[in-house]
Structure 1
Amino acid sequence: MKIEFNDKGAVATVTVTSTVFEFRRHKRAVDTALLLAPGTIANRSGFFLMKTVISGPTARVIRAYKNVLREAAR
């Protein structure tokens, strides 16, 4: 699982990329981040190589990023 944080000023993004073999882990990490960081938006794409982009205000996306890292390490 690859997790990237990009700060673009007022808006930030977190990109989570993983393979189909890590589907449950990917889904759990993204869903937890969205639940614990309200006001963020997620765009999902791909099947064999899953990619989710979480975007929103920087403070909320930082909170989502920390939650994704915590769930991915679990």
Structure 2
Amino acid sequence: MEISMIPDVNCNIINFPNYGNEIVIQNEDGSYTILINAKLSAQGQLLAYEHALKHIRNNDFEKSNVQEIEKAAHK
């Protein structure tokens, strides 16, 4: 079994002012902060967290084509 290492991740659940499930921020120290919309159900929050982790694991912050990034993250 292959284990992929991911950097430190901080996660906060907050009320988003509008729509959206999650936001991922790459921090200056190489760690990440994931913000999850508190308005989602518990299941929705878990799915949003897993989606954010896919972006981190796929090194999406080094890519520029948003459509390709989202296409890969939804597989």
TM-score of the aligned structures, taking structure 1 as reference length: 0.32
Larger relative contact order (C-alpha < 8 A, sep ≥ 6)?
1
**Greater strand percent: which structure?**
1
Higher Cα Rg: structure 1 or 2?
2
**Greater helix percent: which structure?**
1
